[in-house]
Protein backbone atom coordinates (compact mmCIF):
# COMPACT_ATOMS: atom_id res chain seq x y z
CA UNK A 1 0.00 0.00 0.00
CA UNK A 2 1.32 3.44 -0.84
CA UNK A 3 1.61 5.71 2.16
CA UNK A 4 -0.59 8.76 1.80
CA UNK A 5 1.63 11.84 1.58
CA UNK A 6 1.48 14.13 4.63
CA UNK A 7 0.28 17.70 4.38
CA UNK A 8 2.52 20.06 2.44
CA UNK A 9 3.99 22.66 4.78
CA UNK A 10 6.34 24.22 2.25
CA UNK A 11 5.99 27.88 1.37
CA UNK A 12 7.68 30.36 -0.95
CA UNK A 13 8.75 33.84 0.06
CA UNK A 14 10.16 35.56 -3.01
CA UNK A 15 13.06 33.39 -4.13
CA UNK A 16 13.14 31.70 -0.76
CA UNK A 17 11.79 28.16 -0.46
CA UNK A 18 10.98 27.00 3.05
CA UNK A 19 10.31 23.33 3.80
CA UNK A 20 8.02 24.54 6.56
CA UNK A 21 6.74 27.99 7.50
CA UNK A 22 8.18 28.18 11.02
CA UNK A 23 11.10 30.52 11.46
CA UNK A 24 12.74 31.99 14.56
CA UNK A 25 12.64 35.75 15.01
CA UNK A 26 15.65 38.02 14.98
CA UNK A 27 17.08 38.83 18.40
CA UNK A 28 15.48 35.84 20.06
CA UNK A 29 17.72 33.13 18.68
CA UNK A 30 21.22 34.64 18.82
CA UNK A 31 23.25 33.13 15.98
CA UNK A 32 21.66 29.71 16.56
CA UNK A 33 24.74 28.17 18.20
CA UNK A 34 23.32 29.27 21.58
CA UNK A 35 20.49 26.77 20.97
CA UNK A 36 22.68 23.92 19.79
CA UNK A 37 21.80 20.81 21.77
CA UNK A 38 18.46 22.22 22.94
CA UNK A 39 16.64 21.37 19.70
CA UNK A 40 17.32 19.91 16.25
CA UNK A 41 18.08 23.17 14.44
CA UNK A 42 17.98 21.51 11.00
CA UNK A 43 14.23 21.04 11.31
CA UNK A 44 13.47 24.76 11.41
CA UNK A 45 11.96 26.43 8.34
CA UNK A 46 14.57 29.18 8.54
CA UNK A 47 16.68 31.06 11.06
CA UNK A 48 16.75 34.84 11.26
CA UNK A 49 19.92 35.99 13.01
CA UNK A 50 20.32 38.67 15.61
CA UNK A 51 20.72 42.00 13.82
CA UNK A 52 24.17 42.83 12.46
CA UNK A 53 25.58 46.33 12.03
CA UNK A 54 28.78 47.34 10.24
CA UNK A 55 30.73 48.05 13.41
CA UNK A 56 30.47 46.07 16.64
CA UNK A 57 27.93 47.50 19.07
CA UNK A 58 28.15 47.04 22.82
CA UNK A 59 24.42 47.57 23.27
CA UNK A 60 22.40 49.44 25.84
CA UNK A 61 22.92 50.02 29.53
CA UNK A 62 21.57 47.22 31.75
CA UNK A 63 19.06 46.28 33.08
CA UNK A 64 17.98 45.30 29.59
CA UNK A 65 14.94 43.13 30.17
CA UNK A 66 12.01 43.03 32.54
CA UNK A 67 8.99 40.83 32.80
CA UNK A 68 5.52 42.35 32.31
CA UNK A 69 2.05 40.76 32.48
CA UNK A 70 2.20 37.90 29.92
CA UNK A 71 5.09 39.60 28.23
CA UNK A 72 8.48 41.19 28.57
CA UNK A 73 10.24 44.42 27.73
CA UNK A 74 13.69 44.43 26.21
CA UNK A 75 16.18 47.08 25.34
CA UNK A 76 19.25 45.19 24.22
CA UNK A 77 20.26 47.92 21.81
CA UNK A 78 21.46 45.72 18.95
CA UNK A 79 24.52 44.37 20.74
CA UNK A 80 26.40 42.50 18.01
CA UNK A 81 29.99 41.75 16.97
CA UNK A 82 29.80 43.68 13.66
CA UNK A 83 29.72 42.29 10.14
CA UNK A 84 33.38 41.16 9.97
CA UNK A 85 33.28 39.11 13.15
CA UNK A 86 29.84 37.82 12.24
CA UNK A 87 31.14 36.47 8.93
CA UNK A 88 34.31 35.10 10.55
CA UNK A 89 32.95 33.67 13.80
CA UNK A 90 29.20 33.15 13.52
CA UNK A 91 28.39 32.37 9.90
CA UNK A 92 30.38 29.09 9.63
CA UNK A 93 28.11 27.42 12.21
CA UNK A 94 24.96 28.71 10.49
CA UNK A 95 26.18 27.54 7.06
CA UNK A 96 26.63 23.98 8.32
CA UNK A 97 22.95 23.68 9.26
CA UNK A 98 21.87 23.47 5.63
CA UNK A 99 18.63 25.40 6.19
CA UNK A 100 17.76 28.89 4.91
CA UNK A 101 19.69 31.54 6.82
CA UNK A 102 18.28 35.05 6.91
CA UNK A 103 20.56 37.81 8.08
CA UNK A 104 18.99 40.74 9.88
CA UNK A 105 20.81 44.02 9.31
CA UNK A 106 20.46 47.58 10.61
CA UNK A 107 22.09 50.97 10.27
CA UNK A 108 23.27 53.00 13.24
CA UNK A 109 23.56 56.57 11.94
CA UNK A 110 23.10 56.61 8.19
CA UNK A 111 20.67 54.49 6.15
CA UNK A 112 23.57 54.13 3.66
CA UNK A 113 25.01 51.55 6.05
CA UNK A 114 22.24 49.18 4.89
CA UNK A 115 23.69 49.37 1.38
CA UNK A 116 27.22 48.56 2.55
CA UNK A 117 25.91 45.58 4.53
CA UNK A 118 23.68 44.33 1.71
CA UNK A 119 26.56 44.49 -0.79
CA UNK A 120 28.75 42.42 1.54
CA UNK A 121 26.04 39.82 2.17
CA UNK A 122 25.00 39.66 -1.50
CA UNK A 123 28.31 37.94 -2.30
CA UNK A 124 27.79 35.15 0.23
CA UNK A 125 25.88 32.31 -1.38
CA UNK A 126 25.07 30.58 1.94
CA UNK A 127 22.86 33.51 2.86
CA UNK A 128 19.31 33.01 1.65
CA UNK A 129 17.72 36.34 2.45
CA UNK A 130 18.29 39.68 4.13
CA UNK A 131 15.90 41.09 6.70
CA UNK A 132 15.91 44.85 6.99
CA UNK A 133 15.53 45.84 10.61
CA UNK A 134 14.19 49.33 10.12
CA UNK A 135 12.03 49.05 13.21
CA UNK A 136 14.25 48.54 16.27
CA UNK A 137 12.75 50.67 19.06
CA UNK A 138 15.92 50.68 21.16
CA UNK A 139 18.28 52.99 19.31
CA UNK A 140 17.21 56.23 21.00
CA UNK A 141 16.11 57.66 17.67
CA UNK A 142 13.30 60.17 17.33
CA UNK A 143 12.01 58.46 14.25
CA UNK A 144 12.55 55.04 12.76
CA UNK A 145 12.80 54.44 9.01
CA UNK A 146 9.75 52.20 9.25
CA UNK A 147 7.77 55.09 10.71
CA UNK A 148 7.98 56.94 7.42
CA UNK A 149 6.61 55.50 4.17
CA UNK A 150 8.84 57.69 2.00
CA UNK A 151 12.04 56.77 3.82
CA UNK A 152 11.05 53.11 3.73
CA UNK A 153 10.45 53.36 -0.02
CA UNK A 154 13.74 55.19 -0.65
CA UNK A 155 15.83 52.72 1.32
CA UNK A 156 14.35 49.57 -0.22
CA UNK A 157 14.55 51.04 -3.73
CA UNK A 158 18.25 51.66 -3.22
CA UNK A 159 18.83 48.17 -1.81
CA UNK A 160 16.83 46.52 -4.59
CA UNK A 161 19.45 47.75 -7.08
CA UNK A 162 22.26 46.22 -5.03
CA UNK A 163 21.08 42.69 -4.45
CA UNK A 164 18.89 40.03 -5.99
CA UNK A 165 18.65 38.21 -2.70
CA UNK A 166 15.26 37.95 -1.08
CA UNK A 167 14.63 41.16 0.88
CA UNK A 168 12.35 41.03 3.90
CA UNK A 169 11.32 44.31 5.50
CA UNK A 170 10.63 44.17 9.23
CA UNK A 171 7.93 46.62 10.22
CA UNK A 172 7.22 48.54 13.40
CA UNK A 173 3.78 48.47 15.01
CA UNK A 174 4.47 51.93 16.46
CA UNK A 175 2.84 53.72 13.51
CA UNK A 176 -0.49 55.23 12.52
CA UNK A 177 -0.99 52.88 9.60
CA UNK A 178 1.24 49.84 9.20
CA UNK A 179 -0.46 49.05 5.86
CA UNK A 180 0.86 52.28 4.36
CA UNK A 181 4.41 51.32 5.30
CA UNK A 182 3.90 47.77 3.99
CA UNK A 183 2.63 49.19 0.69
CA UNK A 184 5.70 51.42 0.40
CA UNK A 185 7.92 48.38 1.00
CA UNK A 186 6.06 46.41 -1.69
CA UNK A 187 6.24 49.21 -4.23
CA UNK A 188 9.98 49.60 -3.62
CA UNK A 189 10.57 45.93 -4.41
CA UNK A 190 10.67 44.22 -1.04
CA UNK A 191 9.99 40.49 -1.47
CA UNK A 192 8.13 40.20 1.82
CA UNK A 193 7.27 42.04 4.99
CA UNK A 194 7.79 40.75 8.53
CA UNK A 195 5.55 42.06 11.26
CA UNK A 196 5.38 43.02 14.00
CA UNK A 197 8.54 44.20 15.73
CA UNK A 198 8.07 45.04 19.42
CA UNK A 199 5.66 47.66 20.71
CA UNK A 200 7.30 50.58 22.51
CA UNK A 201 6.73 50.21 26.23
CA UNK A 202 7.88 51.18 29.69
CA UNK A 203 7.69 49.71 33.16
CA UNK A 204 8.36 51.47 36.46
CA UNK A 205 9.69 50.29 39.81
CA UNK A 206 7.50 52.30 42.17
CA UNK A 207 9.65 51.56 45.21
CA UNK A 208 12.82 52.89 43.64
CA UNK A 209 10.84 55.37 41.49
CA UNK A 210 12.98 54.42 38.49
CA UNK A 211 12.22 52.83 35.14
CA UNK A 212 12.89 49.10 35.22
CA UNK A 213 15.14 49.33 32.14
CA UNK A 214 18.50 51.10 32.01
CA UNK A 215 17.49 52.88 28.83
CA UNK A 216 14.13 53.91 30.35
CA UNK A 217 11.92 52.25 27.77
CA UNK A 218 12.06 49.23 25.49
CA UNK A 219 10.09 46.94 23.22
CA UNK A 220 7.21 44.82 24.45
CA UNK A 221 6.93 41.23 23.24
CA UNK A 222 5.28 37.98 24.23
CA UNK A 223 1.66 36.79 24.28
CA UNK A 224 0.52 40.20 25.61
CA UNK A 225 0.99 41.71 22.13
CA UNK A 226 -0.49 38.88 20.06
CA UNK A 227 -3.94 40.40 19.35
CA UNK A 228 -2.25 43.61 18.18
CA UNK A 229 0.00 41.61 15.87
CA UNK A 230 -2.81 39.45 14.46
CA UNK A 231 -4.87 42.56 13.65
CA UNK A 232 -1.93 44.20 11.91
CA UNK A 233 -1.22 41.07 9.84
CA UNK A 234 -4.87 40.98 8.80
CA UNK A 235 -4.85 44.68 7.88
CA UNK A 236 -1.66 44.37 5.86
CA UNK A 237 -2.84 41.15 4.17
CA UNK A 238 -5.82 43.01 2.80
CA UNK A 239 -3.62 45.74 1.32
CA UNK A 240 -0.59 44.03 -0.22
CA UNK A 241 0.30 41.12 -2.50
CA UNK A 242 3.75 40.15 -1.26
CA UNK A 243 4.01 37.48 1.47
CA UNK A 244 3.77 38.34 5.14
CA UNK A 245 5.89 36.74 7.85
CA UNK A 246 3.72 37.05 10.93
CA UNK A 247 4.96 37.27 14.50
CA UNK A 248 4.10 38.66 17.89
CA UNK A 249 3.56 36.46 20.92
CA UNK A 250 3.34 33.10 19.19
CA UNK A 251 3.56 30.53 21.98
CA UNK A 252 2.03 27.38 20.46
CA UNK A 253 0.37 25.85 17.39
CA UNK A 254 -2.94 27.57 17.99
CA UNK A 255 -1.40 31.02 18.17
CA UNK A 256 0.66 30.27 15.06
CA UNK A 257 -2.54 29.31 13.23
CA UNK A 258 -4.12 32.64 14.10
CA UNK A 259 -1.41 34.31 12.04
CA UNK A 260 -1.86 32.00 9.04
CA UNK A 261 -5.59 32.59 9.05
CA UNK A 262 -4.98 36.34 9.31
CA UNK A 263 -2.88 36.12 6.15
CA UNK A 264 0.69 35.23 7.08
CA UNK A 265 2.57 32.93 4.68
CA UNK A 266 5.12 32.07 7.35
CA UNK A 267 5.48 32.79 11.03
CA UNK A 268 8.33 33.59 13.39
CA UNK A 269 8.62 32.41 16.96
CA UNK A 270 10.25 35.04 19.15
CA UNK A 271 10.01 35.43 22.90
CA UNK A 272 8.76 31.84 23.26
CA UNK A 273 12.28 30.66 22.34
CA UNK A 274 13.50 32.00 25.68
CA UNK A 275 10.95 30.01 27.62
CA UNK A 276 10.83 26.83 25.59
CA UNK A 277 13.75 26.57 23.16
CA UNK A 278 12.13 23.60 21.41
CA UNK A 279 8.74 25.22 20.83
CA UNK A 280 9.25 25.87 17.10
CA UNK A 281 9.53 22.15 16.43
CA UNK A 282 6.39 21.50 18.49
CA UNK A 283 4.59 24.06 16.35
CA UNK A 284 5.77 22.37 13.13
CA UNK A 285 4.32 19.04 14.25
CA UNK A 286 1.21 20.78 15.56
CA UNK A 287 0.62 22.36 12.15
CA UNK A 288 1.05 18.99 10.44
CA UNK A 289 -1.53 17.49 12.76
CA UNK A 290 -3.99 20.37 12.31
CA UNK A 291 -3.74 20.03 8.55
CA UNK A 292 -3.93 16.22 8.55
CA UNK A 293 -6.93 16.26 10.90
CA UNK A 294 -8.71 18.91 8.83
CA UNK A 295 -7.88 17.31 5.49
CA UNK A 296 -5.90 20.41 4.49
CA UNK A 297 -3.43 19.52 1.72
CA UNK A 298 -1.51 22.75 1.52
CA UNK A 299 -0.93 25.78 3.73
CA UNK A 300 -2.28 28.01 0.97
CA UNK A 301 -5.69 26.57 1.86
CA UNK A 302 -5.65 28.36 5.18
CA UNK A 303 -3.57 31.49 4.59
CA UNK A 304 -5.93 34.46 4.95
CA UNK A 305 -8.94 32.12 4.82
CA UNK A 306 -10.94 33.80 7.55
CA UNK A 307 -14.68 33.46 7.62
CA UNK A 308 -17.16 35.90 9.03
CA UNK A 309 -18.01 35.43 12.69
CA UNK A 310 -21.67 34.58 13.14
CA UNK A 311 -23.15 34.40 16.60
Partner 1 sequence: METALLKVRVISNKKLKCNYWHLEFECGMIARNARPGQFVEVKVNHLMDPLLRRPLSIHGVSGTRVRIIYEVIGKGTQILSEQGPGVFLDVIGPLGKGFEYGQITNKADKQKNILVAGGMGVAPLVFLAQRMKGSRPLVLIGAKTKEHILCEKEFKSLGCKIKIATDDGSRGFKGRVTDLLKDLLSTVNCQLSTIYACGPQPMLKAVARISCENNLASQLSLERHMACGFGACLGCVVSTKSGYKRVCKDGPVFAGEELTW
Q: Out of 20, 35, 45, 244, which residue is the one contacting partner 1 (CB under 8 A)?
A: 35
Please report how close the Cβ of residue 239 comes to partner 1 at its closest, in angstroms: 31
Specify the DSSP class assigned to residue 80.
B
* Binds partner 1 (CB under 8 A): choice among 14, 45, 71, 263: 71
HSE (side-chain half, CA atoms, 13 Å) at 122: 14
Nearest approach in angstroms of CB 130 to partner 1 is 21
Which C-beta is closer to partner 1: that of 64 or that of 170?
64
Q: Which range touches partner 1 (CB under 8 A), out of 68-76, 126-134, 183-191, 199-207?
A: 68-76
Please give the size of the binding site for partner 1, defined by CB under 8 A.
34
Does 222 participate in binding partner 1 (rule CB under 8 A)? yes
Q: Select the residue interacting with partner 1 from 8, 9, 19, 79 (CB under 8 A).
A: 79
3-class SS of residue 243? coil
In the range 192-211, which residues lie near partner 1 by CB under 8 A?
Answer: none
Site for partner 1 (CB under 8 A): which residue of 12, 19, 43, 63?
63
Q: Produce one character per residue of 230-259: b if its CB has 16 or more CB atoms within 10 Å, e if not.
A: bebbbbbbeebebbbbbbbbbbebebbbbb
Using the rule CB under 8 A, is 217 a contact of partner 1?
Answer: no
**Alpha-carbon gap, residue 136 to 148, rounded angstroms:** 14
Residues of this chain, 43-62, that bind partner 1 according to CB under 8 A: 50, 58-59, 62
Within a 10 A sphere around the Cβ of 204, how many other Cβ atoms? 13
CA distance 29 to 20: 18
Closest approach of partner 1 to the CB of residue 228, in Å = 15
- Of 141-170, binders to partner 1 (CB under 8 A) are none
| 309 noted as active-site residue | no
Query: Which parts of the chain fold into alpha helices (H)?
Result: 83-85, 91-96, 112-122, 149-162, 178-188, 226-237, 253-262, 272-275, 279-293
Strand partners, 298: 8
Q: Which 107-146 residues touch partner 1, going by CB under 8 A?
A: none
282 to 33, 50, 173: CA distances (angstroms)? 20, 22, 27
Contact 31, 76 (CB under 8 A): no
**304 is a site residue for partner 1 (CB under 8 A):** no
Of the pair 65, 217, the CB lying nearest partner 1 is at 65
Is 28 near partner 1 (CB under 8 A)? yes
Catalytic residue among 66, 115, 136, 309: 136
What track of x and - describes contact with partner 1 for positions 242 through 281 (by CB under 8 A)?
A: ---------x-------------------x-xxxxxx---
Bridge partner list, 193: 169, 244
* Intra-chain end-to-end CA distance of the chain, in Å: 45
CA distance 299 to 172: 26
The tally of CA atoms less than 13 A away on the side-chain side of residue 48 is: 32
The correct pick among 16, 64, 167, 233 for binding partner 1 (CB under 8 A) is 64
The nearer residue to partner 1, 66 or 171, going by C-beta atoms, is 66
- 89 lies in the binding site for partner 1 (CB under 8 A): no
Residues that bind partner 1 (CB under 8 A): 27-30, 34-35, 37-38, 50, 58-59, 62-67, 69-72, 74, 76, 79, 222-223, 251, 271, 273-278
Indicate which residues carry an active-site annotation: 136
Amino acid sequence: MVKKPGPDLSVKIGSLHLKNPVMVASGTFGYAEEFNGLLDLKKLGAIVTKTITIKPRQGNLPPRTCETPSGMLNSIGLENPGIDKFIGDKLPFLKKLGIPIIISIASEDDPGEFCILAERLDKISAISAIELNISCPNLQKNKLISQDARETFALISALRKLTRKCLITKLSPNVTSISDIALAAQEAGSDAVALINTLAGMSIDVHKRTPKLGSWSGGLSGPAIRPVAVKMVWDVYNKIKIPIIGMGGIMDTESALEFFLAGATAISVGTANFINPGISLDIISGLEKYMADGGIQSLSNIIGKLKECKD
